[in-house]
Amino acid sequence: MKKTRKTLHNLVKVNQGSVGDEVTAKLPPAKRARKNAQEDDAKTVKKTRRKTGKLSVLLEMPLDVLFEIFGLLLPLDLLRLSWTSSEFRCTLMQRSARSLWIQALKHVERLPECLEDLTEPQWAFLAFYPCCHHCGAQNCQTIIWSCRMRCCNKCLKTQLVTI
């Protein structure tokens, strides 16, 4: 554990006596220490604010309300939402959330039924996530259905072999 000057300063106050006086003499002036402690506190507050965004309130909502909201999303939005945090991932990848995925897939007109060997999130990933599954290249439109993957032209040449 990293001891800050503030905690050290408090420690000295508690242990006042002959040994404590020696420690106090070695410490920098109290005003300077307090200023640094305030800066540390400010940095901690900033980090905390960054981690908890305005949408963090969503996690505290009742699950049935969340499912009502999520039911309005398109498959790619639902997929991206599941990647935002571990809580969303756990919630959206549960078996009980399957109806959400089916509902999201129904929002897309003329979309074929989900393939038997894929789950609905896998189907959404294959059908809508526009990146190459090998190199991650953006805007990849080639889907190799038999391999259940998207592949850019560069990876098509390097990763696949014609039989």
Residues 6+ apart with CB under 8 A from 68: none
Q: How far is the CB of 146 from Zn ion (least distance, A)?
A: 17
Distance CA 50, CA 144 (A): 40
Q: Residue 143 corresponds to which tokens in the numbers above?
A: 């889907």
Q: Which is nearer to Zn ion, 97 or 155 (CB)?
A: 155
Q: How far is the CB of 114 from Zn ion (least distance, A)?
A: 24
Q: Which is nearer to Zn ion, 96 or 138 (CB)?
A: 138
Nearest to 9 by CA among 18, 80, 17, 31: 31
Q: Which is nearer to Zn ion, 127 or 132 (CB)?
A: 132
Interface residues toward Zn ion, by CB under 5 A: 132, 134-135, 137, 152, 155
Q: How far is the CB of 131 from Zn ion (least distance, A)?
A: 8
